[in-house]
């Protein structure tokens, strides 16, 4: 081809046009790419206080895009691609929050993200025991709760009683008082069971004689929550709560029907069948609980005595609610329990009619109690409450040569007022308690009858001094018909240092009026126990307090949550009542000069990682009797270790593995028991309306009968030693739960 200037011009023109189209295409492609890059803005605040959270980290999952909130709490992230993106927000002390967004965003406004602190999980739990309407994290008094799923899981282990549920908590030990009937009491911080007060919905239904077999006769299916105060709580509920208080909170009706049924069987041939129904329809609501519990005589050690007695128990607890208006609610409830229980020589129980086997221990129980509650809200600041209960309890305890039986009738009436402002809450009221016991006359016994009443008045104030400090002060004055005027002040303080660290400190006075119904007297079936000399006896009085510290933090970019609680405690009881043998085989309650004190600490650690939870608890209790000489208090494990590993796929699967250690305990005969471990495994598979579960309790088969004797003497006239370790050994239980 001959190249002319014209041809050259055309060639260069084509090249220029080609380059132009290439540049244009490149620009268009870059333009589309630029249109696919988005800028994201968000403001990060505290979920509750709405305070700006500086330093919050945000990042886009699956990319290297990330940034940190500035001094204004603002997040700005650039170059976010179109389509579905998952953005995570994390800050130490707060739960990691993730949000799924689709870019480009339809709404160009700055997104507001609210982060929940780790404490907010606890704040959702409103406690009733302190009589205020505050959440658990805002109350200066230290309260432990068992509620929700935890209560449900613990119920799988012993569906027919609450004994195990309480004993697996740090600082609480259940003490079996009968080798053959299985009766037990609860010890808090090492102190005798008589110093622990058990109430239900604020009503004192399990005190005195009616406290006998109480832990074994309370079925947990209708419980919403269990609240525990360790240390003196007498200012709140009167005498008896020197070591602590256990409040059993019942479920209440909701508009959505609740109908639960549980059927449980054990390898020891035990059976538990429980049902609970509740519903609120317009102005009427109801809850109905019914259960049947059966035990078969069980002797895993083949020593001839029952580790689990034969028993049949029937329970019916109906309640009727009437909602007059949004301001006034009334409910009336009835608790009934009937039980026949017989333990002892297993050949006698099996009716072998063998004259060589004659020992038995029979317990027959009839329990009736009513509860009436009226709540009226005057306005947004003032609420009035009226409560009344009447309790009738009849029980007989029989061994071959002795019968102890009697009837206790007790009443409780209270009027209180709650006044609440923005920063303070007042609770004040008066109550009147009567307690009468009549022992049935058999042979030439000296009855341990009594007839007493207590008139009390109390006042409590909880004040937020500032956002970080809250104080709770209380004062009670009781007049007891036998033991006169008793004054009980109390003081507690809560310090919220920051989002991760808080602390409580508190203390107060307590008292316990003398009664023959103690662990020591129960252990000998009240045989030959003389009545208390009320003219010379005085009320046992105590003082004590505790310091607790809480630390919560998220680790490894909030993948692991760590919670640590450390409690230090001390309680001293002056003029304790001591069961003392005297001449002719009788026992008398005396009050030696001196005191009992307990000191120690509890450590609780909780680790959460994805679907795993690890709980570690350690209790050190140093309990001593100071009379002429100082001696160690019997039946206290100075060192206890609780370990629970839990795996849960929400609403699908639960698996738990636990191990508990008890150090050697000093016994009443001067000897020392052995240290031991207990281990268990639980699994539950859940569906929408039912679940099945299995529990392998004490699968190492730890039993006192393996390493120590439980009695001496003949099989027809046994003298039982202290029971400090399990007698029933390895037992499997399992069942089905229905939710209709």
The CATH number of whichever domain residue 371 belongs to comes to 2.40.170.20
Q: What band does 3 get if pLDDT is binned at 50, 70 and 90?
A: very low
pLDDT mean over 709-730: 92
CATH of the domain at 182: 2.170.130.10
Domain boundary, last residue among 91, 115, 139: 115
Q: What band does 651 get if pLDDT is binned at 50, 70 and 90?
A: confident
**Statement: residue 707 has pLDDT above 90:** yes
| 632 and 574 assigned to the same domain | yes
Q: What band does 168 get if pLDDT is binned at 50, 70 and 90?
A: confident
Q: What band does 36 get if pLDDT is binned at 50, 70 and 90?
A: low
pLDDT per residue as tens digits for the range 453-482:
999 999 999 999 988 999 999 999 999 999
| 283 and 336 assigned to the same domain | yes
| 449 and 592 assigned to the same domain | yes
**Statement: residue 516 has pLDDT above 80:** yes
Domain boundary, last residue among 187, 214, 246: 246
**Statement: residue 30 has pLDDT above 50:** no
pTM of structure: 0.83
Element (H, E) at 697: strand 690-697
Domains in the chain: how many in total?
A: 3
Domain presence at residue 22: no
Domain presence at residue 581: yes
pLDDT over 70, % of the chain: 93
pLDDT per residue as tens digits for the range 57-97:
888 887 878 888 888 889 988 888 888 888 988 886 677 78
Domain presence at residue 335: yes
pLDDT mean over 40-46: 89
CA atoms of 444 and 407, how far apart (whole Å): 19
Domain presence at residue 13: no
| 186 and 252 assigned to the same domain | no
pLDDT mean over 51-56: 84
CA atoms of 132 and 139, how far apart (whole Å): 9
| pLDDT at residue number 123 | 45
| pLDDT at residue number 12 | 47
**Statement: residue 532 has pLDDT above 70:** yes
pLDDT per residue as tens digits for the range 355-369:
788 999 999 999 999
Q: Is the peptide bond before 687 cis (omega within 30 degrees of 0)?
A: no
pLDDT mean over 40-67: 84
| Residue 140, domain extent | 120-246
CATH of the domain at 71: 2.60.40.10
| pLDDT at residue number 29 | 43
| pLDDT at residue number 127 | 80
pLDDT mean over 250-275: 95
Domain presence at residue 305: yes
Q: What band does 251 get if pLDDT is binned at 50, 70 and 90?
A: very high
**Mean pLDDT over all residues of the chain?**
88
| 79 and 127 assigned to the same domain | no
Taking every pair of C-alpha atoms in the chain, what is the biggest distance, in angstroms?
146
Q: Comparing C-alpha atoms, which of 351, 369, 404 is closest to residue 178? A: 404
| 463 and 548 assigned to the same domain | yes
Domain presence at residue 12: no
Helices and strands (DSSP H and E) totals, the chain: 8, 41
pLDDT per residue as tens digits for the range 411-442:
999 999 999 988 899 999 999 999 999 999 88
| pLDDT at residue number 345 | 93
| 648 and 605 assigned to the same domain | yes
| 127 and 98 assigned to the same domain | no
| 587 and 701 assigned to the same domain | yes
Three-state SS for 205-259 is: EECHHHHCCHHHCCCHHHEEEEEEEECCCHHHHCCCCCCEEEEEEECCCCCCCEE
| pLDDT at residue number 275 | 96
Domain presence at residue 557: yes
| 74 and 214 assigned to the same domain | no
CA atoms of 137 and 59, how far apart (whole Å): 31
Q: Comparing C-alpha atoms, which of 384, 370, 296, 290 is closest to residue 333? A: 370
Domain presence at residue 29: no
pLDDT mean over 302-317: 95
Domain boundary, last residue among 229, 246, 263: 246
| 256 and 308 assigned to the same domain | yes
| 718 and 670 assigned to the same domain | yes
């Amino acid at each position: 081809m001959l190249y002319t200037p014209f041809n050259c011009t055309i060639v260069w023109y084509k090249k220029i046009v080609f380059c132009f189209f290439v540049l244009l295409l490149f620009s268009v492609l870059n333009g589309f790419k630029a249109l696919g890059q988005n800028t994201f803005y968000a403001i990060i605040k505290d979920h509750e206080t709405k305070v700006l959270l500086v330093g919050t980290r945000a990042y886009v999952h699956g990319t290297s895009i990330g940034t940190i909130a500035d001094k204004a709490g603002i997040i700005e992230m650039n170059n976010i691609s179109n389509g579905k993106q998952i953005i995570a927000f994390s800050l130490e002390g707060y739960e990691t929050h993730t949000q799924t967004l689709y870019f480009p965003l339809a709404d160009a406004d700055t997104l507001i993200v609210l982060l929940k602190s780790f404490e907010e999980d606890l704040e959702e739990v409103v406690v009733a025991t302190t009589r205020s309407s505050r959440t658990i994290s805002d109350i200066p008094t230290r309260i432990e709760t068992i509620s929700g799923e935890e209560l449900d899981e613990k119920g799988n282990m012993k569906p027919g009683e609450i004994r195990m549920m309480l004993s697996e908590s740090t600082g609480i030990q259940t003490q079996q008082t009968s080798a053959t009937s299985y009766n037990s009491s609860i010890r808090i911080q090492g102190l005798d069971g008589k110093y622990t007060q058990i109430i239900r919905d604020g009503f004192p239904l399990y005190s005195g004689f009616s406290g006998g077999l109480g832990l074994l006769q309370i079925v947990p299916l209708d419980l919403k929550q269990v609240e525990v105060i360790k240390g003196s709580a007498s200012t709140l509920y009167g005498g008896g709560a020197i070591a602590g208080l256990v409040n059993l909170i019942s479920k209440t009706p909701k508009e959505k029907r609740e109908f639960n049924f549980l059927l449980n069987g054990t390898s020891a041939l035990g059976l538990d069948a429980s049902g609970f129904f509740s519903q609120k329809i317009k102005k009427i609501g109801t809850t109905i609980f019914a259960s049947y519990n059966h035990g078969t005589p069980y002797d895993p050690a083949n020593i001839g005595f029952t580790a689990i007695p034969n028993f049949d128990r029937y329970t019916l607890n109906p309640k009727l609610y009437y909602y007059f208006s949004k301001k006034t609610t009334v409910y009336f409830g009835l608790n009934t329990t009937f039980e026949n229980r017989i333990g002892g020589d297993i050949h006698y129980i099996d009716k072998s009619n063998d004259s060589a086997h004659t020992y038995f221990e029979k317990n027959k129980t009839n329990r009736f109690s009513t509860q009436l509650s009226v709540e009226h809200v005057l306005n947004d600041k003032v609420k009035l409450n009226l409560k009344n209960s009447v309790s009738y309890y009849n029980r007989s305890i029989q061994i071959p040569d002795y019968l102890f039986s009697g009837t206790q009738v007790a009443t409780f009436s209270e009027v209180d007022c709650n006044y609440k402002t923005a920063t303070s809450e007042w609770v004040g009221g008066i109550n009147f308690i009567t307690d009468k016991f009549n022992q049935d006359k058999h042979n030439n016994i000296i009855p341990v009858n009594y007839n007493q009443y207590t008139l009390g008045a109390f006042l409590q104030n909880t004040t937020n001094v500032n956002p970080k400090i809250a104080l709770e002060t209380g004062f009670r004055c009781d007049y007891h018909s036998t033991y006169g005027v008793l004054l009980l002040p109390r003081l507690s303080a809560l310090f919220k240092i920051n989002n991760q660290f808080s602390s409580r400190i508190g203390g107060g006075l307590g008292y316990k009026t003398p009664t023959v119904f103690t662990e020591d007297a129960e252990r000998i079936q009240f045989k030959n126990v003389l009545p208390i000399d009320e003219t010379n006896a005085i009320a046992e009085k105590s003082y004590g307090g505790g310091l607790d510290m809480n630390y919560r933090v998220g680790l490894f970019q909030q993948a692991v949550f760590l919670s640590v609680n450390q409690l230090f405690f001390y309680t001293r009881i002056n003029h304790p009542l001591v069961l003392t043998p005297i001449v002719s085989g009788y026992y008398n309650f005396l009050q030696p000069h001196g005191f009992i004190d307990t000191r120690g600490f509890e450590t609780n650690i909780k680790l959460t990682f994805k679907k795993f939870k690890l709980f570690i608890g350690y209790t050190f209790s140093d309990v001593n009797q100071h009379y002429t000489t100082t001696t160690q208090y019997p039946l206290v494990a100075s060192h206890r270790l609780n370990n629970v590993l839990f795996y849960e796929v929400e609403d699908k699967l639960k698996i738990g593995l636990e191990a508990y250690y008890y150090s050697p305990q000093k016994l009443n005969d001067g000897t020392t028991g052995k240290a031991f471990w207990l281990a268990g495994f639980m699994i539950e598979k859940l569906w929408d309306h039912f679940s099945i579960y299995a529990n392998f309790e004490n699968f190492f088969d730890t039993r006192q009968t393996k390493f120590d004797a439980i009695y001496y003497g003949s099989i027809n006239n046994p003298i039982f030693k202290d029971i400090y370790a399990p007698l029933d050994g390895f037992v499997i239980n399992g069942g089905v739960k229905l939710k209709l």
